[in-house]
């Protein structure tokens, strides 16, 4: 799809060259012959991309960039500079340019490549916006998903792998946003108009997981009164997200490997292979390499899944994202509960910044949801109740035993009701189930 591109260039020959190449690519191109005219043009239309020379009489390209980004923060900028002026290109990148080109160009392909790379980001943000509208306010905007310096590399790698068919392995602690990233990769892929199907491999027993993944035929087992498609068939031409893939039992691992190798599934109780075309995104909070070394996870399956590994940093490594994410959740739950909760107090903001978030983004979401329920007008530090939350996570020196005892105590008080236990502890039911399994509690 063509995009709106503004070319600001005082050299007629260079201007003509840029217009010819960009028009041939299908873009709508407008021109400005100097920086002042470019600034005026910026105010007249919405631009996806601005290409400007840096050295121009009057208002130079760097000044245009700085002023123009205030007017059109959504636009991407490519600056053109002569060989020997790399310093100006570096300064422009610091001021917010997406990329730069050195003239004379080696070939028109050099221009095409840089333009396509810049516009791919525009296309990505458009798709994420549409995805946000489709599934509602539960999905954070793209700038929040990838907010913070620790996520810059993840952002770049996600953009590179999304258009391919490669299997992706997402690693990171529970609650760090692996499923959100999987949905982003799917939304940016050529399969975006097909199904995104998720299955939590830790939540199902071995026999149920096999049927869930591969389907079953009628009469395959007691209760199988009709044939049923598995998740692989339901995800045909789309993406299958295997969450907590490290929890898959060895017998199911063998069958999963066969599907990945041969691209066919056999339903439980069936004899007819069914071809499938599915892109796999797997996620785990465990060290699969260590599980391979212990003989608990097949090495050949590991390499099939680990074609393109992506590690999500924990929230503790994304300090600059904590307050913006908290504010997103505040607005979300204020709207959901019909409450006017406008802000976090200064004390609450300080508490949010100081806390180490062992439960990551999921814990932050739970804490803010509870705080919105308790708050009156603004969220104060008392509404966050982070001192209690601190007891509900391992990894703080010798607190694992404290956590186990706390979970046991609350579980007893709740008469074994897991939902009530999770609510009292301020954690999700899913996190509680992981903890119960880890500590051997029932």
Backbone angles phi, psi at 235, to 5 degrees: -90, 10
- How far are the Cα atoms of 136, 222, 233, 368 from residue 195, in angstroms, in the given order? 17, 30, 10, 31
For the chain, percent of residues with pLDDT exceeding 70: 88
pLDDT digits (tens, 9 = 90+) for 210-266: 888 988 787 766 666 677 888 999 999 999 999 999 999 998 999 999 999 999 998
Domain borders along the chain are 4-123, 149-311, 315-439
186-214 pLDDT, tens per residue? 988 999 889 999 998 888 777 788 888 98
CATH of span 4-123:
3.40.50.2300
CA distance 1 to 51: 18
| pLDDT value of position 152 | 87
* pLDDT the model gives residue 299: 96
Q: In CATH terms, are 4-123 and 315-439 the same topology?
A: no
Q: What is the pTM of this model?
A: 0.62
What's the whole-number mean pLDDT along residues 97-123?
Answer: 84
Mean pLDDT, residues 421-428: 71
Sheet holding 49-53, edge to edge: 28-32, 4-8, 49-53, 76-82, 99-103
CATH 2.60.120.560 is the classification of domain 315-439: no
CA atoms of 6 and 48, how far apart (whole Å): 8
Average pLDDT over residues 36-48: 87
What is the dotted CATH code of the domain comprising 149-311? 3.40.50.300
| Angstrom distance (rounded) from CA 31 to CA 16 | 9
Looking at residue 388, its pLDDT comes to 56
The mean pLDDT of the chain is 84
What pLDDT, on the 0 to 100 scale, is given for residue 135?
47
Percent of the chain with pLDDT over 90: 37
**What is the mean pLDDT of the segment spanning 356-374?**
89
Stretch 74-91: mean pLDDT: 81
| Per-residue pLDDT at 408 | 82
How far apart are alpha carbons 407 and 427 in whole angstroms? 11
Tell me the residue ranges of DSSP E strands in 207-287: 239-243, 264-265, 274-275, 279-284
Is residue 410 over pLDDT 60?
yes
């Amino acid at each position: 799809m063509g995009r709106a591109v503004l070319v600001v260039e005082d050299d007629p020959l260079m201007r003509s060259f840029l217009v010819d190449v960009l028009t041939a690519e299908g873009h709508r191109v407008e021109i400005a012959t100097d920086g002042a005219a470019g600034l005026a043009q910026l105010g007249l239309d919405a631009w996806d991309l601005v290409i400007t020379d840096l050295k121009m009489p009057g208002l130079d390209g760097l000044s245009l960039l700085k002023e123009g980004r205030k007017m059109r923060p959504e636009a991407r900028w490519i600056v053109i500079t002569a060989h020997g002026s790399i310093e100006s290109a570096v300064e422009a990148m610091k001021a917010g340019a997406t990329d730069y080109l050195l003239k004379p160009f080696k070939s028109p392909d050099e221009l095409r490549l840089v333009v396509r790379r810049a516009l791919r980001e525009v296309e990505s943000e458009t798709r994420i916006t549409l995805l946000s509208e489709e599934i509602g306010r539960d999905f954070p905007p793209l700038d929040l998903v990838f907010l913070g310096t620790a996520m810059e590399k993840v952002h770049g790698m996600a953009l590179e792998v999304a258009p391919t068919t490669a299997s992706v392995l997402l690693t990171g602690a529970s609650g760090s946003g692996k499923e959100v990233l999987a949905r982003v990769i799917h939304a940016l892929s050529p399969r975006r108009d097909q199904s995104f199907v998720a299955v939590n491999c830790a939540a199902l027993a071995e026999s149920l997981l096999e049927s869930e993944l591969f389907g079953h035929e009628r009469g395959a087992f007691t209760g199988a009164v009709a044939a049923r498609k598995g998740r692989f068939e339901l995800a045909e031409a789309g993406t299958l997200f295997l969450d907590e893939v490290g929890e898959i039992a060895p017998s199911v691992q063998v069958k999963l490997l066969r599907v990945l190798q041969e691209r066919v599934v056999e339903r439980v109780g069936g004899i007819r292979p069914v071809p499938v075309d599915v892109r796999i995104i797997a996620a785990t909070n465990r060290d699969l390499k260590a599980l391979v070394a212990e003989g608990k996870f097949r090495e050949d399956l590991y390499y099939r899944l680990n074609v393109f590994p992506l590690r999500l940093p924990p929230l503790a490594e994304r300090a600059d994202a904590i307050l913006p994410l908290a504010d997103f959740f505040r607005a979300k739950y204020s709207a959901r509960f019909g409450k006017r909760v406008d802000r976090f107090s200064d004390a609450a903001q300080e508490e949010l910044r100081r806390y180490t978030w062992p439960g990551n983004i999921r814990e932050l979401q739970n804490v803010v949801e509870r705080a919105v329920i308790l708050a009156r007008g603004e969220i104060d530090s008392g509404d966050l109740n982070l001192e209690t939350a601190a007891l509900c996570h391992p990894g703080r020196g010798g607190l694992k035993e404290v956590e186990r005892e706390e979970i046991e105590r609350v579980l007893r008080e709740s008469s074994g009701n897991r939902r009530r236990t999770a609510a009292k502890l301020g954690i999700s039911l899913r996190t509680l189930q992981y903890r119960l399994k880890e500590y051997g509690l029932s």
